[in-house]
Structure 1
C-alpha cells in the first residue's frame, strides 16, 4: 500500500486564505473528503487540484455547491469522452 501525502486542512485554508468552514461545508455536501487522524483533519495531496478548482468556482464565480457538483460531473464526462475519442482514433489509425 502506498503512503498518502496529506496536507493539514488548517494549513491549506491559511495558504488559500479561505475560511475553514467552507471545507466542512464542501465535505458535508460530498464534494470533497478529509481524512481525520488523531483529531487533525487532512486533505489528500491528490485531490488538491480539485479542491482548488471547487474553491475558485465557489469564491471567484459565486457558484453554489449544487452548481459545482454539476460542473464537476460534466468535466468528468468531458474527460471520459475525450479519452474515448482518443482510443477510437487510435483504433482507426490501425486500419489506415
Structure 2
C-alpha cells in the first residue's frame, strides 16, 4: 500500500486543530472513509479537499452531520445536472449548424 498518498489521522487532526472524535464521527456517519495500515488510521489525500469542506461547514457555519450530508448530496446532484446540461448543449449544437 502506498502510504505516500495517505495522511495519518492524528497528524491531520493536529494540523487542522480538530478532535479525533470528529473524524471518527464522520466516518461512522458515512461521510468519509479512513484506511487502516499497520494499526494506524489514515486519510486518503484525494479526500483532503472534501474533508476540508466538511470541516468548514461544521466549524464556520455550525452545521451538523445530517445537514452536511444533505449539502454535499445537493452539491453532487448540482454537478451532475451541470454536466448533463453541458452534454445536452453540445448535442444541440450539432443540430443548430
TM-score by length of 2: 0.92
| Structure 1: gaps of 5 or more residues | none
Q: CA separation in 2, counterparts of 1:93 and 1:12?
A: 47
Could you say what secondary structure the match of 2:43 adopts? strand
Runs of 4+ in 1 over 3 A off after TM superposition: none
Instruction: Specify every segment of 5 or more residues in structure 2 that has no aligned partner in the other structure, as ranges.
Output: none
Alpha-carbon offset, residue 3 of structure 1: 4.8
Give the aligned length. 95
- Comparing both structures, which one devotes a greater share of its residues to helix? 2
| RMSD of equivalent CA atoms | 1.4
Point out the more displaced range, 69-78 or 7-16: 7-16
